[in-house]
Amino acid sequence: MAERILLIEDDSRLAGMLQTYFAENEFEVQWCGDAASGLEQARRQSPAAVILDVMLPDLDGFEVCRQLRAKSDVPIIMLTARGDPTDRIVGLELGADDYVPKPFEPRELLARLRAVLRRGRRSDHSTEALRFGRLTIDPASRTAAIDGHTIDITSHQFELLRVLAENAGRVLSREVLMDRLRGEELTAFDRSIDVHISRLRAAIEDDSRHPKRIVTVRGFGYVFTRTQD
């Protein structure tokens, strides 16, 4: 059976093209042309993933992403015609799983979609909690806690923390981290990974200016230490 994908996009020509292309690749695309109907469809149908345009006629995609993420961990890929890197950071901070600038090739979007779906399936099968001293990372509930108190991080930041913790003791470059998170290579000029690292340090480190858990390895990337403090 084809997996059902929800497309929230006001460009009818693009929507029709994606419906046809994805159907040829065993995905059923349900299209909504505005935010209100998209949110209602997501509530009623529980899609496997949501492809969400930033520019919608009734509500911007960032607010739609916020509302979706408040109720569900459904994978979200955001689309935008705007080239501002800040848009990407905002979308990821709100919990989007990936971000695709327009114009794009349908084949690229399909590859991104398959990557976020694979990542979700891996997360479903990795349910054993990871414990590092005072820090507990629970993939089953998708929460992290210090001394039993849940810390406030986004879905995307939790995934980053999980990847780091599952590779404790190994240095991971920005490119490797984003490839694990989004299934694509990161350009050398994309610094959004540093923003998320900074937020995680603020949440889990005793002193984020002198981190002991997520350590920068200059010229290489980051390492999650095994220290039990």
| Tens-place pLDDT, residues 31-65 | 999 999 999 999 888 899 999 999 999 999 999 99
Domain ranges within the chain, ordered by starting residue? 3-124, 126-224
* Fold (CATH) for 3-124: Rossmann fold (3.40.50)
Residue 189: band (very low, low, confident or very high) from pLDDT cuts 50, 70, 90:
very low
Least confident among 42-46, 73-77, 117-121, 166-170 = 117-121
Place of tokens 């995609």: 61
Mean pLDDT of 96-125: 82
How do beta strands 76-80 and 98-101 pair?
A: parallel
Interatomic CA distance for residues 122 and 10, integer angstroms: 32
CATH of 126-224, one of 2.60.40.10, 1.10.10.10, 3.30.70.380, 1.10.3720.10: 1.10.10.10
* CA 40 to centroid of chain Cα atoms: 22
Burial class for 226, CB neighbours closer than 10 Å (0-12, 13-18, 19+): exposed
Contact 103, 75 (CB under 8 A): no
pLDDT at 182 over 80: no
Residue 156: band (very low, low, confident or very high) from pLDDT cuts 50, 70, 90:
confident
Interatomic CA distance for residues 136 and 122, integer angstroms: 19
Mean pLDDT of 78-91: 77
Interatomic CA distance for residues 220 and 226, integer angstroms: 18
Q: Fold match between 3-124 and 126-224?
A: no
Interatomic CA distance for residues 17 and 32, integer angstroms: 14
Residue 120: band (very low, low, confident or very high) from pLDDT cuts 50, 70, 90:
low
Interatomic CA distance for residues 7 and 4, integer angstroms: 10
* CA 112 to centroid of chain Cα atoms: 11
pLDDT at 13 over 90: yes
The overall average pLDDT reported for the chain is 85
